[in-house]
Amino acid sequence: MENLFQPLALNSSITLKNRILMAPLTRCMADDELVPTQAMADYYARRAEIGLIISEATIIRPDGQGYPNTPGLYTPAQIAGWRNVTDKVHDNGGKIFAQLWHTGRVAHPHFFGGDFVLAPSALGVEGTVPRMRELTYLEPKPASKEEIEELIADYAQAAINALEAGFDGVEIHGANGYLIDQFLHYSSNVREDEFGGNPENMARFPLAVVDAVVKAIGEDRTALRLSPGAYFNIDADARDREVFDYLLGELETRNLAFLHVGVFDDQMEFDYLGGTASEYMRSRYSKTLVGVGGFTPESGSQAIASGKFDLLAIGRPLIANPDYVAKVRAGEALTEYSDTMLAELV
């Protein structure tokens, strides 16, 4: 497993001390102003041995919120709260990116007031907000061109705020059925304007967000997470493949810090992708790729050795083992994750 502990230069600005990333993990533990707390700073600082921490998904503006107490990055207090987190991570020798999030149609006005949520098209998700059964999801309002322009500007501003808060960069959350992903799938995007109807149009908003963030903070500090396989908050359509073929071709011409597979279990195969999400992304994208989803240190090391991806993100095992890196290095047994561990920040 030595390869997990080799450094990797993402670009001329950022070198990671090892190949392990902390996957973004929503914990719903920010305070009621969506400000990161001291307990969150301690939680992240305990994991600074990881090559790069990706923060839990962090909303770029109020109407991006779909779950209770998810942190934000748009008020001075939130920026200051994150500054405390990033300082502690840096003091312990770590690096941390902010994951920038807007949930689109998975948002709920319960959290931010008003009476609508924005998405590409008036196609809602079934069901209710997790753990809040009284909150049924709404049929979203299709975003107007002006609203799309505002969203792009707000992603860029959140990236600027992230650097002000001391983050080393940002990962744009383009995965898991949230706003950006909603533009990329036919089951959630039936627009007939320049943001829908064919791969180039469906990729227009995601690429505009990427380009605006790159313009704001530079390509070395910008990463993107994508879910080419629909599996969460979204239904699959075989035509989605062409959208991701086009998008990945466009991303190949840019020099982002990395692309990150967005999946819970990378053994899962998607018919229309011809294999797993990471196999598909590797086949269309030759630059730095982060794999994730059900890996052990052994299987992750093997995947890196065989060129399936370049960096390994670890999610649930890092909730169970703050000292994951030390344990793996020492060959010690890992504590098994259980959902009951989500109740507190350890």
Q: At closest approach, how far in Å is the CB of 30 from ligand 8K6? A: 12
Q: At closest approach, how far in Å is the CB of 67 from ligand FNR? A: 9
Q: At closest approach, how far in Å is the CB of 114 from ligand FNR? A: 23
Residue 137 interacts with ligand 8K6 (CB under 6 A)?
no
Nearer CB in complex with ligand 8K6: 152/268 = 268
Nearer CB in complex with ligand FNR: 186/295 = 295
Q: At closest approach, how far in Å is the CB of 12 from ligand FNR? A: 27
Binding site partner of 175, from ligand 8K6, ligand FNR, none, Cβ cut-off 5-8 A by kind: ligand FNR
Closest CA to 188 of 225, 227, 240, 224: 240
Nearer CB in complex with ligand 8K6: 5/232 = 232
Q: Under a CB-based contact definition with an 8 Å cutoff, are residues 194 and 130 in contact?
A: no
Task: Find the binder of ligand 8K6 among 43, 67, 167, 258 (CB under 6 A).
Answer: 67
Q: Which helix (H) or strand (E) holds 165?
A: none
> Around 98, how many Cα atoms within 13 Å sit in the side-chain half-sphere?
33
Binding site partner of 262, from ligand FNR, ligand 8K6, none, Cβ cut-off 5-8 A by kind: ligand FNR
Binding site partner of 131, from ligand 8K6, ligand FNR, none, Cβ cut-off 5-8 A by kind: ligand 8K6
Binding site partner of 294, from ligand 8K6, ligand FNR, none, Cβ cut-off 5-8 A by kind: ligand FNR
Contacts with ligand FNR, residue ranges (CB under 6 A): 23-26, 56-57, 99, 173, 175-176, 225, 262, 264, 292-294, 314-317, 342
Q: At closest approach, how far in Å is the CB of 53 from ligand FNR? A: 12
Instruction: Judge residue 158's burial from the number of C-beta atoms within 10 Å of its C-beta, 0-12 exposed, 13-18 middle, 19 or more buried.
Output: buried
Nearer CB in complex with ligand 8K6: 7/130 = 130
Nearer CB in complex with ligand FNR: 26/201 = 26
DSSP state string for 1-53:
-GGGGS-EESSSS-EESSSEEEPP-----S-TT-PPPHHHHHHHHTTTTSSEE
* Phi, psi angles (nearest 5°) of residue 133: -65, -15
Helix axes 240-252, 277-284, angle to 10 degrees: 50
DSSP state string for 248-312:
HHHHHTS--SEEEE--S-TT-EEGGGTEEHHHHHHHH--S-EEE-SS--HHHHHHHHHTTS-SEE
Helix axes 145-164, 76-91, angle to 10 degrees: 40
Task: Find the binder of ligand 8K6 among 10, 16, 21, 26 (CB under 6 A).
Answer: 26
* Phi, psi angles (nearest 5°) of residue 295: -85, 145
Binding site partner of 292, from ligand 8K6, ligand FNR, none, Cβ cut-off 5-8 A by kind: ligand FNR
Ranges within 231-250 binding ligand 8K6 (CB under 6 A): 231-232
Q: At closest approach, how far in Å is the CB of 234 from ligand FNR? A: 14
* Phi, psi angles (nearest 5°) of residue 34: 65, 35
Nearer CB in complex with ligand FNR: 170/175 = 175
Task: Find the binder of ligand 8K6 among 112, 264, 272, 337 (CB under 6 A).
Answer: 264
Q: At closest approach, how far in Å is the CB of 178 from ligand FNR? A: 8
| CA max distance for the chain | 56
Cα 165 from Cα 333, distance rounded (Å) = 36
272 an active-site residue? Answer: no
Cα 261 from Cα 263, distance rounded (Å) = 6
Q: Which helix (H) or strand (E) holds 173?
A: strand 169-174
Task: Find the binder of ligand 8K6 among 32, 93, 131, 134 (CB under 6 A).
Answer: 131
Task: Tell me which of 178, 231, 280, 324 is the catalytic residue.
Answer: 178
Q: Which residues are catalytic?
A: 178
Q: Which residues contact ligand 8K6 (rule: CB under 6 A)?
A: 26, 28, 67, 130-131, 231-232, 264
